[in-house]
Every structure is written in C-alpha cells, then in structure tokens.
Amino acid sequence: MKGIILAGGSGSRLYPLTLTTNKQLLPIYDKPMIYYSLDLFLSQGIEDICLITSPQHIKDFEKISYTLKDIFSINLIVQDQPKGIAESFLLSEEFIKGNKVMLVLGDTFIHGKIPPPKNTGATIYAKKVKNPNEYGVVEFYNGKAISIEEKPESPKSHYAVPGIYFYDEMALEYAKQIKPSARGELEITDINKQYLEKDQLHTIELDNSIVWLDAGTYDSLFEASEYVRDHQSKTSNCIGLNLKKVHE
C-alpha cells in the first residue's frame, strides 16, 4: 500500500496566517501541522508517500522531505490549482501504479489508534460532530455506508468523514470518471459514491477514545495546540512524529 498526502489549497479559512506559508506548515504546538498527518502513515506501516502541494510551497516541502528522509520516501508533486481532493489520484497516477492507497489530508489531526481498514473496496471513518453540514457526511449501518454527501444543508446523520481514506486499486479509474462539482472541484465524495453503488464503501465509527480536530480554523488550530501541550505535559508521550527521533 502507498500513501498520498494532500497539502495544497489556499488556506483561506486561516488567512492571514497563510499569507506567507502553507497551512500544513503552521504549528500545532511544537510541530508543523503536517507532522501529525504523516504519523498516521507510520501507524499503518506505510513509508512510500506522494506529497501534493502548490507551486509556491514546493521548496518548503523539499526541506520537510529531506528532514524526514530516514523515515519516509517522499515524492513531491505540484498541484497548480486546488481542484479538489479527488484530483490527487490523477496527479499521482504514475506513483500509484495499481497499488492500494491510503489518502490523508494534510490538515487532519487525529490522536488515537484508528481501526484497520477492510481488505476490499474502500474504507472511510465516521466521527460524530455537532456541525455535520461543514463536512462530508456519511449515513451507515452495520459497517456499510447507506448514503454520503458533501457539506449538505440538511445532513442525514451527525457523522462527519475525517480526512483519512483507504482505497483499493480501482480508485484511480473512478477518479478518471467523475466530473467537477458545482464548485468546480473533483470531490472525494463522488469517488466514495462509486464504491457505495457497488456496496463496497465500508464505514468504521471512531469512538470517544479517538480525538479528531479539523485544524483548518483559528479556534480548532488553537484547540489542537492546547490538546497536544496538555497531553504531552501530563503523559510525557509524544503526539505526532517524535521530533527528537527525527532530528537525532
């Protein structure tokens, strides 16, 4: 299995913090935000990664790639304009080469051991939230998705889909078939719907032992920093990539 991490976008929700840097390079307490997302790959034993980012930030991620060269093999790909999460499959076609894929969004902050994905089809996760209309929303029963929508006005459930996805070898073909949405993006939800139509969209609920924060707003970025500081101070256990090991 290979990994794709999407670290592009304009970071408009965090402007002007993102005026001079990429959102995923902003700090969550003592580490760049992307260090927490990268740690999710290690938890699944994935070291071969494709990192997709914007042209103006590629040099910054070259530094990250070099710093982490003893942990990951990171292939850098430029996304000229943010055209949706699903475009990551098209941009990384040569890298994927028929492999199963773990896709992670660079602003995903999760603390806790996520359950392993299913062996077939696609696996997404579901986390109960108060504001589901701000996310992709999944309705599911007995581990299978019933419906999935992107930022619906009237959500069918209170379960949001965090930015971690597992796909079999068909994901690239499905990405080639979808069309841009009304907002001009290739939606990851449209790929998930193709798996749903074939009854292959597995859904696993993340319980209260797992903390998920969307670190793309001022408040959640601050909340995540407080959480990491408090946890590390109380337990002496590192969250995210261990900086001491990385820089030894």
Confidence (pLDDT) at 19: 86
The pLDDT tens digits of the residues spanning 61-81 come to 999 999 999 999 999 999 998
CATH number at residue 100: 3.90.550.10
Number of H helices, E strands in the chain: 8, 14
Can you give the pTM of this predicted structure?
A: 0.94
Q: CB of 87 within 8 A of CB of 54?
A: no
Dig out the tokens for 7 from the structure.
């670290």
> What's the rounded Cα separation, in Å, for the pair 10 and 82?
8
Number of domains in the chain: 1
In a domain, residue 174? The reply is yes
In a domain, residue 142? The reply is yes
Percent of the chain with pLDDT over 70: 98
Domain that holds residue 112: 2-243
Q: CB of 227 within 8 A of CB of 111?
A: yes
In a domain, residue 248? The reply is no
Q: CB of 9 within 8 A of CB of 53?
A: no
In a domain, residue 16? The reply is yes
Q: Name the β-bridge partners of 123.
A: 166, 202
> What's the rounded Cα separation, in Å, for the pair 36 and 106?
8
Q: CB of 237 within 8 A of CB of 158?
A: no
The pLDDT tens digits of the residues spanning 190-213 come to 999 999 999 999 999 999 999 998
The pLDDT tens digits of the residues spanning 48-64 come to 999 999 999 999 999 99
In a domain, residue 200? The reply is yes
> What's the rounded Cα separation, in Å, for the pair 12 and 25?
14
In a domain, residue 89? The reply is yes
**Residue 180, preceding bond cis, omega within 30 degrees?**
no
Q: By three-state DSSP, how is residue 200 classified? A: coil
In a domain, residue 74? The reply is yes
In a domain, residue 124? The reply is yes
